[in-house]
Structure formats: C-alpha cells, structure tokens
Amino acid sequence: MGRIKRRMLTFIVIMLSVYGLLCALIYSQQERMVFYPEALPPGYAFSFGQPFEEVSLPVAGATISALHFTVERPRGAVLMVDYRGYGKSSGSISGEQMLHDDALAAYDWLAERYPADSIVLAGRSLGSGIAARLATQRTPRMLILETPYTSMLSIARRQVPWAPGFLLKYPLRTDRWIGQVASPVYLIHGTRDELIPFASSQRLAELIPGEHKLYAIEGAGHNDFTGYAGYDRALGEILDQ
C-alpha cells in the first residue's frame, strides 16, 4: 500500500512539474506565439502601384516604421504601421501598454497633417483591439474593425483552456473599450472564421451604444475574407458614409 501511495505521489509531482514548465513556456514565449515578428533589412525597398512615403516615428526605446499612402480623391487618410520587430520597425514588444503608446504616436503624426474627419481608424484581427482602444483616446471619422475579437483572453482560453488567464500579458479587452468609442463603428467578419468566431463581432455589436453596423461576409474564413465580393461591397459602403 505504501509503494502505491509513493508512486501516486511521484506521478502527481511529475504532472505538476510538467504543467508548471508548460505555463512558464507560454509566459516567456508568448510574444513569438502571438505576434510572429518578421523583420526586414533596413535597406529594403518597398514597391507599390501607387504613391507613398516611408515614415519613421520615434517612440520610447524604438523607431516605428510606417507607410503613408496618397491617392487622388481619397476617402480617408492611410497610414500603415508595423509593430516593433516587424518590417523596418526596431525594438521588440514586451507589454500591452507599449502597443497602445505606439499606436497613439502614429495617430498623432497623422492628426498633425489631416483633420479628424479625414482619419479612418482601422484594425484587423490582432490590430482590432489596439484600434478600439485608440478610438477611445481620439475621435476619428470612424472605426473599422475587421475580424475583431472580444478579447485576446477569450482567444487564449479557446486555444489553451488549461492555462490560467493571468499568464497572458496581452489581454486586449476590446469588450471593455468598444462601448466608450464616440465615433461610428463598423465591423466586418466572415461567418466561417475558424480563428476568431463570428460570434465575437455579434457580441461587440451588442456593446456599442452609438452608431454601428456589422457586415457578415457569408462563407468567409479568417484569412480569405478579403477575397469575397461581399467584403469589397461592405468596405465601399462604409467609406461612402
């Protein structure tokens, strides 16, 4: 009987040790698991079929790289920003507040050159939570969220339900911010999204007290929804508002 108890105790200790190691791995490596940073060499030459300029934004501990596109008769200002560690942006991400601070710096650069009613704030997938938070700090013409989540915490619970929530350094609680956005909010989501369920956008829409609309892209998944005709129609209708 004593031998069985010792074996059971040994088994429990081993399982707890494995669990602890897995939790430590998730905490220490989540930047790689969440952001998948892909850097470009400093001399990389961008090429697009329309006019643009490269912009370097100094922020605390890094320089953020962005592309400012200009077109004739624009329906909104376009500034595409790379996170730290992406593209030509230097530094690395180590906390959620850093993401919000960098986004605010990019918005303010654009706001120095365009009136607020010309700025369309858009965030897709991972960027949707950052855009939602930014829209509570500034008042753009509108906020567009493509394949948004209610929170990264909810995504983590679906992916690794056995891991405690406090391990996540990037909860990105869109569900807590969306109700504070004063600008009109437009959501675009594929009905067959395999990563972020369509129900996430439905839930967010319920939390928006002001002007908003949810565009369902029938049959679209997470990474292919921009190839559906419904996406182009939705975006065109939104920008014509």
CA distance linking residue 222 with residue 100, whole number of Å: 24
Q: Which helix or strand (DSSP H or E) is residue 204 part of?
A: helix 198-207
| Helices and strands: H and E segment counts in the chain | 7, 7
> Which one of the listed residues 193, 200, 201, 212 is annotated catalytic?
193
Q: Is 125 a catalytic residue?
A: yes
**Catalytic residue among 90, 92, 118, 125, which?**
125
Q: What crossing angle do the helices spanning 126-137 and 96-111 adopt, rounded to 10°?
A: 60
Catalytic status, residue 94: no
224 is catalytic: no
Cross-strand bridge partners of residue 217 = 190
C-alpha span between 148 and 130 (Å, rounded): 10
145 and 127 in contact (C-beta within 8 Å)?
no
Q: Give the DSSP H/E element, type plus range, for residue 206.
A: helix 198-207
Q: Which residues are catalytically annotated?
A: 125, 193, 222
